[in-house]
Amino acid sequence: MMRILFIAPYGGLGGSENVLVNVLERLDRTRFEPQVLLLEQGPLDDRVRELGIPTLVQHLPGKAGVARFPAAAHRIPGPVDVIHANGGKAAVYGLALRRRLGAPLIWMKHDHSYEGRLTHALGARCDHVVCVSRAMARAFDDLPEDRVSVIYPGVILRDLEPVEGTTPTIVSVGRMDPFKGFDELLKAAAQLRAEGVELAVRLAGPQDRVHTETQRELQALADSLGLGGENVGWADDLDEVYAMARVVALASKPKGAGGAPGEGAPLVLMEAMGAARPVVGTDMPGIAEVIADCGSLVGPPTADNFAKALKPYLQDPALAARTGAKGRIRVERLMTLDRTVAELSALYSRLAAEPAIR
């Protein structure tokens, strides 16, 4: 039995955490013995425990927590065959564990945070880097090819009612983070209504752990635009949310002063495409790679630009159906969760059989 230690830097349930839960849920427990180390307390701990997987929580938030990594790593029991770090902060902690336990370290990189010299230095010290898009993997072009993989996060295929039978509804899913551009989507919807387009809106997702005020601000904006604040916030059943969608949008904005892409390979777009829904997203490298020709790209992510991109799908159910069908085929071919788990499992087995890099 191969022992895999997964490191999760945050306790909430965002995109990368959902990827981790999906992988853990489908990992072959006759071959692998997973354990999860969380660097913050939160609902992710409960979610993992529901799967019958043991967890260990070391509350190490913020920069002060990073300074405590070396000492904290000494309290993690071994032995471990492979360390899977779910994100950059987890990979930094993983380096301390790797030195002590001698197990190979995989860094699964989900976004473009801190790209540049820091990313390169961290990747060079890991045994393997898994990138969730080819666009992201370009940051590691000078590493040997056998130390970098592109593995899409992967989703299940949803068999929902045909999109042409939906009422015109714009759906967007994600944490209530100001960088997700939900405000621009609400303004785009109000603009389309002013042009005489019949539509509804549903923005579904949890409150952001940092920007806790954003959900209330979006609800107030939706009310002021006549779109209904009750249509913004948490949803218990994503199947119901995607089922109502005529089109699914992701209006993410660039992050930081340098305008770095805010998304790696967004799970929401893959989920929507896997449900045969057309998608509209910001023209960023990872988003463009996921969508390909199965939707529309918008740049820059303004309300006016999104209104123009969304309008054809809202008004033409046949166009929405044709585009959604293409997306379903693309996900089925490249981005299923079964494929993700199979590729990661093969990587775990290969690295466990090789000596760790020094």
Predicted confidence band of residue 20 (pLDDT cuts 50, 70, 90): very high
- DSSP-derived letter for residue 181 is -
Choice between 202 and 115, residue whose per-residue pLDDT is larger? 202
Contacts of 240 (CB under 8 A, 6+ apart): none
Question: Which amino acid is located at 61 in the chain?
Answer: P
Q: In the chain, pLDDT over 70 holds for what percent of residues?
A: 97
- The confidence score (pLDDT) of residue 258 equals 57
Question: Which amino acid is located at 129 in the chain?
Answer: V
Rounded Cα distance, 219 and 233, in Å: 8
- Rounded to the nearest 5 percent, the helix, strand and coil shares of the chain are 45, 20, 35
φ and ψ at residue 118, rounded to 5 degrees: -65, -45
Report the predicted TM-score, pTM, of the whole model to 2 decimal places.
0.91
In 3D, which of 15, 11, 149, 7 has the Cα closest to residue 92? 7
Question: Which amino acid is located at 111 in the chain?
Answer: D
Predicted confidence band of residue 358 (pLDDT cuts 50, 70, 90): very low
Query: Does residue 350 surpass a pLDDT of 80?
Result: yes
Predicted confidence band of residue 353 (pLDDT cuts 50, 70, 90): very high
- The confidence score (pLDDT) of residue 334 equals 96
Average pLDDT over residues 288-299: 96
- The confidence score (pLDDT) of residue 257 equals 53
Predicted confidence band of residue 302 (pLDDT cuts 50, 70, 90): very high
Query: Does residue 260 surpass a pLDDT of 80?
Result: no
Q: Which pair of structure tokens corresponds to residue 330?
A: 């693309």
3-state SS assignment for residue 357: coil
Average pLDDT over residues 278-300: 96
Predicted confidence band of residue 256 (pLDDT cuts 50, 70, 90): low
CA angle 27, 33, 35 (to 5 degrees): 95
Rounded Cα distance, 183 and 161, in Å: 28
Query: Does residue 118 surpass a pLDDT of 90?
Result: no
Predicted confidence band of residue 216 (pLDDT cuts 50, 70, 90): very high
- The confidence score (pLDDT) of residue 15 equals 85
Name the region of 67 (left: φ>0; alpha: ψ -120 to 50; beta: rest).
alpha
Query: Does residue 272 surpass a pLDDT of 90?
Result: yes
Is the CB of residue 169 less than 8 Å from the CB of residue 244? yes
Query: Does residue 38 surpass a pLDDT of 60?
Result: yes
Per-residue CA distances from 93 to 105, 107, 139, 326 (Å)? 10, 11, 21, 41
pLDDT by residue (tens digit) across 160-205?
Answer: 999 999 999 999 999 999 999 999 999 999 999 999 999 999 999 9
Query: Does residue 356 surpass a pLDDT of 60?
Result: no
- The confidence score (pLDDT) of residue 321 equals 98
Give the domains, in start order, of the chain with CATH numbers.
2-154+336-352 (3.40.50.2000), 163-334 (3.40.50.2000)
User: What is the rounded average pLDDT for all residues in the chain?
Assistant: 94
3-state SS assignment for residue 279: strand
Rounded Cα distance, 281 and 240, in Å: 21
In 3D, which of 91, 119, 183, 152 has the Cα closest to residue 274? 152
Rounded Cα distance, 202 and 194, in Å: 18
Contacts of 245 (CB under 8 A, 6+ apart): 163, 166, 169, 170, 171, 202, 272, 275, 277
Average pLDDT over residues 223-248: 97
Predicted confidence band of residue 357 (pLDDT cuts 50, 70, 90): low
pLDDT by residue (tens digit) across 51-95?
Answer: 999 999 999 988 889 999 999 999 999 899 999 999 999 999 999
Choice between 356 and 8, residue whose per-residue pLDDT is larger? 8
φ and ψ at residue 132, rounded to 5 degrees: -90, 5
Is the CB of residue 203 less than 8 Å from the CB of residue 183? no
Average pLDDT over residues 203-225: 94
Contacts of 136 (CB under 8 A, 6+ apart): 109, 111, 112, 150, 264, 265, 285, 286
Question: Which amino acid is located at 117 in the chain?
Answer: R
Average pLDDT over residues 221-247: 97
